[in-house]
Amino acid sequence: MKRLPPQAGEWIDRGKPLRFTFEGIGYEGYAGDTISSALLAAGVRVLGRSFKYHRPRSVLSLANHDVNALMQVSSCFSVPNVRADVTPLAEGLRATAVNTIGGVARDRARFLEWLAPFLPVGFYYKAFHKKSQFPFWERVFRRTTGLGTVDFSARRKGSPKRYAFCDVLVIGGGPAGLAAADAALRAGARVALVDENPRLGGSGLYNLGGADGERQAEETRRLAAIAAAGAVVYVSSYAAGYYADHWVPIVTPGHVVKMRARAVVVATGAYEQPAVFRNNDLPGVILASAAQRMLARYSIAPCKRAVVLAANDDGYRAARDLAAHGVEIAAVVDLRGANSRGAVPPGTLVLEGHGIHEALADSQGALRGVRVAPLARDGTLDGYQAREFECDGLLMSTGWAGAAPLLYQAGARMEFSAELQQFVPAACPPGVYAAGRVNGVHGFAQKLRDGAAAGRAAAAQSRKPGSVDGAAPSCRQERAQSGMPSHPYPIFAHPKGRNFVDFDEDLQLKDFFNAAQEGFDNIELMKRYSTVGMGPSQGKHSNMNAIRVLAKILGRTPGEVGSTTARPMFHPVPMSHLGGRGFMPERATPLEGRHAAASAVWMPAGQWQRPEYYAVENQTREAAIRAEVAAVRGAVGVIDVGTLGKIELFGRDAGAFFERIYTAKFAGMKVGSTRYGLMLDESGVVIDDGVIARLGEEHFYFTTTTTGSATVYRELTRLNAMWRMEVGIVNVTGHFAAINLAGPRSREVLAPLTALDLSEATFPYLGAREAQVAGLPARLLRVGFVGELGYEIHVPASGAAHLWDQLMKTGAAHGIRPFGVEAQRLLRLEKGHIIVSQDTDGVTNALELGMDWALKMDKPFFVGQRSLEAMGRLPRKQALVGFTLDEPDTGMPKECHLVIESDEPAGRITSIAHSPAVGRVIGLALVAPALSKVGSTLNIRIDGGRMVRATVSETPFYDPKNLRQKQPETA
């Protein structure tokens, strides 16, 4: 094949040659070429190998409706499964065919074709499954399967997504789409137009067939110029799918544009369908439209001498286009009967009522000729009367299938038109319009009228939804004038087979008959059993023929057989485009820098990072944590608790509101005091806990768990909306920082920083105060989570670092030390305080916690109360207990090790640690009620299956009377 002389409108730029390699051999193409077109122009006949039999393949559609030319393409790293037919050529590009052993020319896996007789449809279900042998066969399969190869060195990337809005989105820039865009622009709509090709125009610029075609191309160019001037145009881009509310992601070469349209015109055209006959997959057998694209876009003659198989006017147009570019037409073979022929160049042989009995291969496996046979009355071919024609190109033009996936996704009702032999939309949902070939409208003038009607309707709908009903605009007339674009059954059996229906999956005609014979005789089952349409091109060139074959088998019409669901993606989309830049929000407290400076080792806590502990040079993690614990117990420590949720409540009913959402009582709560609360769901399961401070009669401030703040706030606002109490709720989690100052010396550390009277009498345990601390407006809560004298100090986030620094400064003399989450976990464990979601799980109810003091069942109502009442009458399933390990030397249990009783699981450890204060290993466990009495023995199975014993103990383990929290001034 050689390039034709330069012609107007060609897409290649002959001034810009590009060098590239295919299978290690250097070639040259032009800017504007695709990889396939450049290779065709260079005379390369075999571009790929088929999936199953490794048959030589070349271009079929040149439009991404098949994957015959699927390549591994390398530049700085290697990209698998590149569709060479539509991928622009680039300088220095290196391509190889995927899925070959030893290269595309002499693929050693081609022997697999000899095995074809042993490999009927679904063969892999029928053998290889002896248990002892399957692993071996599976390895064989996994070696031979797959297409391209992943390059593990490929870089992470994600393209930013864009958002766009328009009145009318026109998908498809062929004649119908251009007419729709033009009409919508005239109606004053904001129009966006998408086309997968690098230039607008579609078939208007290549499906020519003579002088008429040239005039049509002129009109197409005129409309394209109007669209380019008036609409936002996305070329080399495709709509990945249609999603609810006219939400259409447009995949451009670099990124995804998420388009929200008011109305959508689907003018996606049609996929030309291959005829099915023996060897219809040889390199050189191509769709007529592919040949026309080669001629017009890349100035390539697809062959020197062609046979054209036609069953519609398009085939004749293609024949005239070939002849006009100097290709010899050996014959036009028309599947239709007498008097259906179109115009052909003088002297061209036309064989009406004939078909292709088989295509013949040369030594390379490419086309060298065809055998043409007359059609019998029953539509079969009589092979005995076949005549051979020498040719290096066979063009197939026997029919179309609407490119309708977007219509299916939009919920259009599709019906089969016997006249058109095509599935066409019978009704589209509001705001969705079909135009052109996908709408069953095939002639050029008809497409323009149909497109214009759709564009007008879409524009009107976008101005005033409901102004145009959802049905497709009347296109009956245009459809009626479309002739017979598709042959009802261009499918021919051959005793030797190799008549392919699905080129991706190497499925032959007999496979469908055999699948039906095995009971897979509805279209969905047939698809799943045979895998038709499940390859990378998703049935674009195969589904329609599969439906026709099944209809034939069942004696039904294709309409009765129905089609399968067409799911997104329309064409496959790279994950980098879909994933975009990713969005994983991370939160930091205002003290992050202080922690980092103090060598914090971080751990995730929901969206936050918290210091697990502060590393000390030449000290182990354990030693560092022990030192932090010792500081809190012996002197003073400071921990950033700013990740806690912080919520404020205002209003007359604030107290009553708390009564309903927490298990504790609030009605009689004094201003200036705090209370611990458990929050339950309706089934009584514990979902959160926190400290509630009453700052005024109608003003509360409370904390939630770190991970619970957003959900708690959201649910409270819902309950408030439903109960409509006089309450205002404000989430101030980010506004406030919070620092817990804890330890026997904490009062002395705090005192210099505030004028507030910190004496036990005026600011007692569980008290809450508002005061200036270190010059900042602060809220101080006397809490005892870690079991020492302590102040939780909440200040505006902007002042957090200042407060921290001041505390560290005044604390220096007292041995202050920052402590992390690990130390806090141990300190609270010594006090027997629970951590919701560690000592509870998704089904732990409040009765099981042994915290009955916190459950005020005599209140009129709180969320979860009624379920607790009911459960109170039923046997308990488990109980949370404290325990101490009997002999710590026998082995250390871990959290979630099981308690075993009578050889059955009877609970699990939820928290465990060695307590320096108690001098023993202590823990909490959820255990069977029978084991929950103080003094009961727990048998714990630890790593390695060994058993250790523990004894259920009272909690708190440390300072059981809670004296240290209430510590009066230094004695």
Among 352, 518, 760, 901, the residue binding another protein under the rule CB under 8 A is 518
Among 21, 90, 113, 149, the residue binding another protein under the rule CB under 8 A is 149
- Binding to another protein in span 204-243, by CB under 8 A: 240-241, 243
SS3 622: helix
- Residue 362 or 895: the one with the smaller Cβ distance to another protein is 895
Half-sphere exposure of 261 (CA within 13 A, CB side): 34
Q: How far apart are CA 439 and CA 447, in angstroms?
A: 9
Question: Considering the complex, what minimum distance in angstroms separates the CB of residue 385 from another protein?
Answer: 24
Q: How far apart are CA 750 and CA 745, in angstroms?
A: 9
Among 572, 634, 888, 891, the residue binding another protein under the rule CB under 8 A is 572
Among 74, 576, 599, 951, the residue binding another protein under the rule CB under 8 A is 576
* Interaction between residue 717 and another protein (CB under 8 A): yes
* Interaction between residue 556 and another protein (CB under 8 A): no
949 to 543, 882, 891, 937, 939: CA distances (angstroms):
67, 13, 10, 7, 5
Question: Considering the complex, what minimum distance in angstroms separates the CB of residue 146 from another protein?
Answer: 3
* Interaction between residue 559 and another protein (CB under 8 A): no
Identify the DSSP state of 847. G
- Binding to another protein in span 924-943, by CB under 8 A: 941
- Binding to another protein in span 64-83, by CB under 8 A: 79-81
In the block, which residue shows the tokens 């309950």? 719
SS3 608: strand
Question: Considering the complex, what minimum distance in angstroms separates the CB of residue 925 from another protein?
Answer: 12
Question: Considering the complex, what minimum distance in angstroms separates the CB of residue 498 from another protein?
Answer: 15
- Binding to another protein in span 677-716, by CB under 8 A: 682-684, 714
Among 19, 126, 556, 946, the residue binding another protein under the rule CB under 8 A is 126
Among 106, 464, 496, 873, the residue binding another protein under the rule CB under 8 A is 873
Contacts of 867 (CB under 8 A, 6+ apart): 680, 682, 683, 684, 845
Q: Are 392 and 413 in contact (CB under 8 A)?
A: no
Question: Considering the complex, what minimum distance in angstroms separates the CB of residue 338 from another protein?
Answer: 37
* Interaction between residue 513 and another protein (CB under 8 A): yes
* Interaction between residue 599 and another protein (CB under 8 A): no
SS3 577: helix
* Interaction between residue 538 and another protein (CB under 8 A): yes
Among 48, 56, 202, 249, the residue binding another protein under the rule CB under 8 A is 249
* Interaction between residue 600 and another protein (CB under 8 A): no
Question: Considering the complex, what minimum distance in angstroms separates the CB of residue 864 from another protein?
Answer: 9
- Binding to another protein in span 37-56, by CB under 8 A: 51
Bridge partners (DSSP) of residue 793 are 739, 780
Question: What are φ and ψ of residue 106, in 5° steps?
Answer: -125, 45
Among 556, 718, 735, 933, the residue binding another protein under the rule CB under 8 A is 718
* Interaction between residue 897 and another protein (CB under 8 A): yes
Question: Considering the complex, what minimum distance in angstroms separates the CB of residue 238 from another protein?
Answer: 12
For residue 224, the Cα-to-chain-centroid distance in whole angstroms is 34
Q: Which stretch binds another protein (CB under 8 A): 269-277, 433-441, 463-471, 581-589?
A: 581-589
- Residue 24 or 582: the one with the smaller Cβ distance to another protein is 582
* Interaction between residue 106 and another protein (CB under 8 A): no
Here the tokens at position 948 are 């250790």
Among 103, 158, 353, 497, the residue binding another protein under the rule CB under 8 A is 158
Bridge partners (DSSP) of residue 795 are 737
* Residue 845: other Cβ atoms inside 10 A: 20
Q: How far apart are CA 177 and CA 451, in angstroms?
A: 6
SS3 240: coil
Q: 868: part of which helix (H) or strand (E)?
A: helix 865-872
Q: 910: part of which helix (H) or strand (E)?
A: strand 904-915
Give how many residues touch another protein by CB under 8 A.
118
Q: Are 356 and 394 in contact (CB under 8 A)?
A: yes
Here the tokens at position 297 are 């876009």
Handedness of CA 665, 666, 668, 671 (dihedral sign): positive
Residues 471-510: x where in contact with another protein by CB under 8 A, - otherwise, as a string:
---------------------------------------x
Q: Which stretch binds another protein (CB under 8 A): 366-374, 435-443, 561-569, 622-630?
A: 561-569
- Residue 576 or 967: the one with the smaller Cβ distance to another protein is 576
Among 198, 383, 483, 580, the residue binding another protein under the rule CB under 8 A is 580
Q: How far apart are CA 506 and CA 504, in angstroms?
A: 6
Q: How far apart are CA 665 and CA 854, in angstroms?
A: 9
Q: Are 29 and 18 in contact (CB under 8 A)?
A: yes
* Residue 326: other Cβ atoms inside 10 A: 10
SS3 245: coil
- Binding to another protein in span 833-872, by CB under 8 A: 837-838, 841-845, 861, 865-867, 869-871
Question: Considering the complex, what minimum distance in angstroms separates the CB of residue 29 from another protein?
Answer: 22
* Interaction between residue 650 and another protein (CB under 8 A): no
Q: How far apart are CA 318 and CA 207, in angstroms?
A: 7
